Amino acid sequence: MSVAYWCVLVAAILPYLTVGIAKARSSYDNRDPRSPGLYQGLAYRANSAHQNGLETFPFFAVAVVVASGGSAHTAIGVLNTLALTWLALRLVYIAAYLLDWPSLRSLAWIAGLFMTVGIFTLPAWHG
């Protein structure tokens, strides 16, 4: 199994770690887990990072699958590097969200989007 597939697994787990931070830092009530007033401060930012993780994951996962199956000549080393870079950017994004650094967060998100597009189009360049 390629490194890129392991990155998909880690990417799938990350949103649940951030929501865990949100729930631990709030007066979480399991009877009303989506209450708009539940999350404040760090808990609010962690929950927002969680939601964004769920939003960005499908495109990343599909891109890795497309790149892996796109061509027998797809450069696996390039795919793995792009996937690891995406994962590192995702960690920067989460940290920037939790630390309330919006400019760095936006830069990490944009760079991650470029990585995902690069992964998705990899077979076109190496196929």
* Per-residue pLDDT reduced to its tens digit, 71-86: 656 688 999 999 999 9
* Per-residue pLDDT reduced to its tens digit, 44-57: 999 999 999 999 99
Residue (of 61, 55, 51) closest to 6 by Cα position: 61
CATH, domain range 3-126: 1.20.120.550
Residue 7 to residue 47: CA distance in whole angstroms: 22
Q: How many CA atoms lie within 13 A of 54 on its CB side?
A: 9
- As a dihedral over the C-alpha atoms of residue 11, residue 97, residue 42, residue 18, rounded to 10 degrees, the angle is 0
Q: Are 88 and 45 in contact (CB under 8 A)?
A: no
pTM: 0.90
